[in-house]
Structure 1
Amino acid sequence: MSFFKKIFSSEKKETLNKSLENSNTSFYSKLSKAVAGKSRVDDDVLDELEEVLISSDVGVATTLKIIQRIEKRVERDKYLGAKELNGILREEIAAMLSETSGEDAVDFAIPLNQKPYVIMVVGVNGVGKTTTIGKLASQFKKKGLNVVLGAADTFRAAAIDQLQVWADRVDIPIVRQDMGSDPASVAYDTLKSAVSKDADVVIIDTAGRLHNKVNLMNELTKIKRVMQKVVPDAPNDVLLVLDGSTGQNAFEQAKQFTIATEVTALAVTKLDGTAKGGVVIGISDQFQIPVKYIGVGEAIDDLQVFNKVEFVDSFFK
């Protein structure tokens, strides 16, 4: 296997390693107990490993796929020492994700032939949606791109104010209206402003509610329809933000939002300080939607483009 021969950016890798430290420590504490006193990988070890992976929020379906891959390795190699299990996990999970979840995103790049590139951001309140938008806008700006923000979450004054704080912080224009305004109207005005400014990227915040899928679907459909009056192929991306620290609840939110709207990309936040980082492996494997970004800390630069091999390398280091 050649997955881990790539040399990662040292600063980025150190940040990722630190972010996943709790997940890594928790996993290895469980794994050490599972293989204690065992010299080889046998059925008992695999049963224990299955429990460890599920309890590490990897998810049942993905865990079963991993166990099947390990079983094939045991069959092929005849004898696998328990001490080799860590390396085998890294290799097999990296291979599995590379086979099932497509190509990784290029470092905060956008297609040159789509201008403005419109990103509509969805997700429930409290997942780090506004923070992700601000950090994403900052990264795009550092790439030399002109960015415009749209505060279309008009159901909470706090949401508008929070986005304004980020706009001021990264010195990016924002289009906003009063609380209670029509979200579609804000999105329309944002795209009109972006076109007039010859902007490269537009990021539209939307309301973080999921209590009624029909209402959510109708609202997001209306926003899309109105935006297309200005930019016919908008939005180019529908980015769903998920809180990685909620573990399996992030799976459920992903399921519900993909029912309610056509999600094209995922961002998993708050991976620092949680032991539930395994959820990213499960989400990356289970949904036919790429994980594009991960939140690995509170600093403005602590939003990273998700790289499957790099993530697995840090999780199982």
Structure 2
Amino acid sequence: MSVSVPLSVLDLVRFDPTAEGPAEAIARSVRLAQTADRLGYRRLWFAEHHNAASIASSATSVLIEHVASQTERIRVGAGGIMLPTHSPLVIAEQFGMLASLHPDRIDLGLGRAPGTDQTTMRALRRTGRESDNFPSDVVELHGFLSDQSRIPGVAAHPGQGTKVPLYILGSSLFGARLAAQLGLPYSFASHFAPAMLQQAAQEYREGFDPNGPLAPADAKPWFIAAANVIVADDEGDAADQRHRAEARWLRDFLSRGGSNPSDADIAAARQHPQGQQLLSMLECTFSGTGQQVVAGLDGFAQQVQADELIVVNMAITEEQKQHTLELLAPQQQ
């Protein structure tokens, strides 16, 4: 039994800053990437976050290069670059460089959110209004990566002519409608924001314009849905890992502002309406044995008519993360 659509991986490069540093987290992500590469996953994406003490993917393009240089087949890219925090030209140059170093292996997913808080935005020299320019910035970026720059006399070197494939990311109807209008693939962040998934998928497919201004030749809608996964040899182990992953999720939120919640605080949060609301963000989570998770993901893909699934590996230890990839592997099902 196998998932009926291509399977990819979103790696958040999470780590516990009280127990290890970013170097260890990145080395672990490289090993997991090599496993995903060997087992036949389609692509591996990293997300841009800033001022997040437990996430080591802030310099996303640098991390993509590091991982791509140590893998062979799997596509590596951004899921995504938060375009309002950058100029389109700089991103075109960075991903043009990546595409020149790793031809036909680089993806560029683009998000409209700042990927951080208001204070950090100011440190990034951003006002928060840059997201208003997202649609035009996507078009400008596409021009830099194609053969026709939208700005006369300005070209991305490298970048021009690389035609790095663009994906619009989002967790609302805005991204779905924009991707459909432009004729681009769309990836929905249902791994943490599932509320609008069904409607976004429907509006994207119904509104998709194969002749959109950025649509490639013979363009068809391509919808990617995200889900969290934990796969183990038995249900009990998977349930235990899921319980611990949920506790870590709650701890991340309760720790904001410098607090240090105890295990008792986490247990109490599970029973509190606010804690239950936080856990509802993980609605699109599939845990269990390989057969159970494959069946769950297959049903999920059919429900939202996904062309591809991208999974977040929520297993706890590196050994368990490796085992999740192995039990879910496209080549071994």
- TM-score over 0.5 for the alignment? no
More helix by share: 1
Larger radius of gyration: 1
